[in-house]
Amino acid sequence: MIAVIITKELLFRFVLKKGNDVQSIAVKSDAWHHRSDAITSAAAFIGISIALIGGQGYEEADDWAALFASGIIIYNAYKLLKPAIYDLTDAAPEIEINKSIIKTAQGVKGVVEIDKCIVRKSGFDLFVDIHVVVDGKVTVNQGHLIGHNVKDSLIENNPRIKDVLVHIEPDDIHQKNE
Q: Tell me the domain boundaries of the chain.
A: 2-88, 95-177
pLDDT score, position 172:
80
Q: Average pLDDT over the chain, rounded to whole? A: 88
pLDDT band at 177 (very low <50, low <70, confident <90, very high): low
pLDDT score, position 14:
94
**String of DSSP letters for 82-116:** HHHHHHHTT----HHHHHHHHHHHHTSTTEEEEEE
Q: In the predicted model, what is the mean pLDDT of residues 33-51?
A: 89
CATH code, 95-177: 3.30.70.1350
pTM listed for this prediction? 0.60
Rg (the chain; Cα; Å) = 26
Say if residue 102's pLDDT is above 90: yes
Query: On the CB side of 138, how many CA atoms lie within 13 Å of its CA?
Result: 19
> Residue 165 pairs with which residues in a beta bridge?
129
pLDDT score, position 56:
87
Which residue did the predictor score with more confidence, 133 or 171? 133
